[in-house]
């Protein structure tokens, strides 16, 4: 760290909000432009990747060499395994790197950069606010690190707008800035709950875009339930997402503050956490922790929590049953209506037996409600009754789902804070939870029940809570290779006997005892961390 510089870190604060009091059209316009800009960047990147690949292949051919793609296809046709580590493929990649400084490639890259700048200018001319296109570019640059880029679907029911402070803005000036004006309440209101609840609501002015260099503001009621720290503001963003038939609004404030002081040792050493999900007696296990002081325990959602998550699924099932019954009854009525159908109704419902979305039936109800048909009482009554019941069940389902997700997150945060206070370092497995989730969705051999339990346990939420809790307190987080942590005995190093997918407790022939496989994995992580530390 340079002399005289203080360690700093970034903290994000999220607050509840109400819908903007005006300017919703401008909000949706910016959201649409953001989506279009992101998709245009994706389209451009995919095309530019093809151009770079083709040019590199031509340069390699001119040199009389095979490109990495050609080597890959040749080895694949020959039945080789592990091609990306094959010496010929590795050598081809190294040869390609030598071409990166070729004048023709540098010229192409320069032209492609200018194309991106021109695209930015074109969207700026369309009215996309500068902070929003910078925010989109930040998200895109992160996404383009992945080999697979995906387009985004526009939805008015979910989105965000952002104001970025690249140079930073002192928090004391956030109430009078030209981009965001967020009045900060007197700190005295946070001394007791009653006073805080009475005075936490403030009106934030948020700049959506500029019109002839003048700001176009929207006013958003925000509930500052906790005090914002003194520091440097880096970002203020407005978020919304749909919960059933209404929008839930939040405001996020990102503040750069002085780093936490160096934590004094607790004397209890490190704690290792093995992440996993399995049904156990009394609930759903999401992980197991073991400390160097010998303490340990499972991280689990209770039976009551499981029942509530199951209730969400039950509500969805009930809605599906009601929808199928409605579809069958309406189809029968439409086949033999008591009076000729108007053209719009016949055209609208000609594919009704294939409809699967409740939204299509709801749209049909809204139109039928304003364009009643002669002798339609029976069919319209069915549709009206279904719409009323389904709206209630939809609200029940969506609110319960969000409630349980927030409850789970809070439980994980409380546990993470407790461990971070008690221990000096965190040890977790280094593996890609997102890839595991995508594999589950892509048709893996994982049983449906295990896939469902993974979704409920949400190990990524648990890991994020743990990592954030230790990082906020200035304590290190170490990620270790998880290979064989479950199947190797932590006590003797021998192989455990049993099927980890079916049995919780595995047997060690050497120790002649059974071990909880999750506790065993956590102890192996702890032992490996100690071995690594001893080598330093």
Binding-site annotation, residues for Mg(2+): 518
DSSP 417: H
Tokens of 202: 């403030």
Tokens of 265: 């040792």
Cα separation, 51 vs 265, in Å, equals 55
3-class SS at 378? helix
Cα separation, 411 vs 336, in Å, equals 56
Name which of 38, 21, 18, 26 is nearest 209 in CA terms: 26
Cα separation, 473 vs 409, in Å, equals 19
Which residue ranges make up the annotated binding site? 489, 492, 508, 511, 518
Name which of 502, 416, 409 is nearest 456 in CA terms: 409
Tokens of 114: 């200018």
Chain Cα centroid distance, residue 404: 17
Q: Which long-range contacts (CB under 8 A, 24 or more apart) does 200-203 make?
A: 200/224, 200/225, 203/21
DSSP 349: T
Name which of 458, 455, 445 is nearest 501 in CA terms: 445
Q: How far is CA 366 from CA 326, 470, 527, in A?
A: 16, 52, 64
3-class SS at 292? coil
Which residue ranges make up the annotated binding site for Zn(2+)? 489, 492, 508, 511
Q: Is the separation of the CB atoms in 206 and 235 below 8 Å?
A: no
Indicate if the alpha-carbon torsion angle 153, 154, 158, 163 is positive or negative. Answer: positive
Rg for the chain (alpha carbons), in Å? 29
Cα separation, 60 vs 95, in Å, equals 8
Nearest-10 Cα torsion for 63, 69, 75, 80? 140
Q: Is the separation of the CB atoms in 419 and 462 below 8 Å?
A: no
Name which of 474, 439, 409 is nearest 7 in CA terms: 474
Q: Is the separation of the CB atoms in 231 and 173 below 8 Å?
A: no
3-class SS at 10? strand
User: What would the DSSP string read from start to end of 422-474?
Assistant: H-SEEEEE---HHHHHHHHHTT-S--HHHHHHHHHH-HHHHHHHHHHHHHHTT
Cα separation, 489 vs 509, in Å, equals 10
């Amino acid at each position: 760290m340079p002399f005289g510089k203080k360690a700093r870190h970034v903290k994000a604060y999220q607050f509840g909000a109400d819908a903007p009091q005006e300017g919703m059209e401008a909000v949706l316009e910016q959201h649409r432009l953001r989506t279009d800009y992101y998709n245009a960047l994706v389209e451009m990147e995919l095309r530019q990747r093809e151009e770079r690949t083709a040019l590199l292949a031509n340069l390699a051919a001119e040199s009389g060499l095979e490109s990495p793609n050609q080597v890959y296809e040749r080895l694949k046709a020959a039945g080789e395994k592990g091609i990306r580590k094959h010496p010929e493929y590795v050598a081809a990649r190294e040869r390609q790197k030598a071409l990166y400084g070729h004048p023709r490639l540098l010229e192409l890259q320069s032209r492609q950069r200018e194309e991106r700048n021109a695209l930015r200018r074109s969207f700026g001319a369309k009215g996309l606010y500068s902070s929003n296109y910078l925010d989109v570019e930040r998200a895109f640059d992160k996404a383009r690190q992945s080999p697979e880029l995906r387009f985004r679907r526009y939805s008015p029911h979910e989105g965000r707008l952002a104001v970025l402070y690249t140079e930073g803005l002192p928090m004391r000036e956030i109430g009078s800035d030209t981009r965001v004006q967020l009045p900060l309440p007197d700190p005295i209101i946070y001394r007791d709950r009653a006073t805080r609840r009475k005075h936490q609501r403030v009106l934030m002015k948020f700049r959506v875009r500029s019109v002839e260099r003048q700001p176009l503001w929207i006013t958003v009621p925000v509930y500052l339930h906790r005090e914002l720290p003194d520091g440097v503001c880096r970002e203020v963003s407005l978020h919304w997402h749909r919960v059933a038939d209404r929008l839930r609004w939040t405001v996020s404030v990102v503040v750069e503050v002085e780093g936490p002081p160096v934590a004094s040792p607790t004397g209890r050493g490190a704690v290792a956490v093995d992440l996993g999900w399995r049904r156990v007696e009394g609930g759903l296990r999401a992980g197991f922790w073991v400390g160097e002081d010998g303490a340990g325990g499972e991280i689990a959602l209770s039976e009551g929590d499981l029942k509530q998550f199951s209730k969400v699924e039950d509500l969805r099932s009930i809605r599906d049953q009601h929808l199928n019954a409605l579809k069958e009854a309406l189809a029968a009525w439409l086949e033999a209506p008591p009076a000729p159908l108007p053209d719009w109704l016949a055209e609208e419902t000609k594919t009704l037996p294939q409809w699967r979305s409740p939204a299509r039936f709801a749209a049909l109800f809204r139109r039928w409600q304003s364009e009643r048909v002669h002798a339609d009482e029976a069919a319209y009554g069915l549709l009206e009754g279904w719409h009323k019941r389904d709206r209630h069940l939809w609200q029940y389902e969506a609110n319960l789902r969000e409630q349980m997700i927030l409850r789970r997150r809070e439980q994980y945060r409380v546990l993470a804070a407790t461990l971070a206070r008690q221990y000096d370092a965190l040890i977790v497995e280094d593996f890609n939870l997102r890839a595991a989730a995508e594999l589950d969705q892509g048709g893996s051999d994982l049983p449906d029940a295990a896939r469902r339990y993974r979704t409920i346990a949400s190990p990524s939420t648990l890991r994020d809570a743990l990592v954030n809790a230790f990082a906020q307190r200035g304590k290190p987080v170490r990620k270790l290779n998880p290979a064989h942590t479950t199947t190797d005995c932590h006590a003797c190093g021998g192989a455990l006997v049993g099927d980890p997918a079916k049995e919780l407790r595995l047997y060690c022939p050497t120790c002649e005892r059974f071990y909880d496989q999750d506790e065993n994995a956590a102890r192996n992580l702890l032992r490996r961390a100690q071995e690594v530390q001893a080598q330093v």
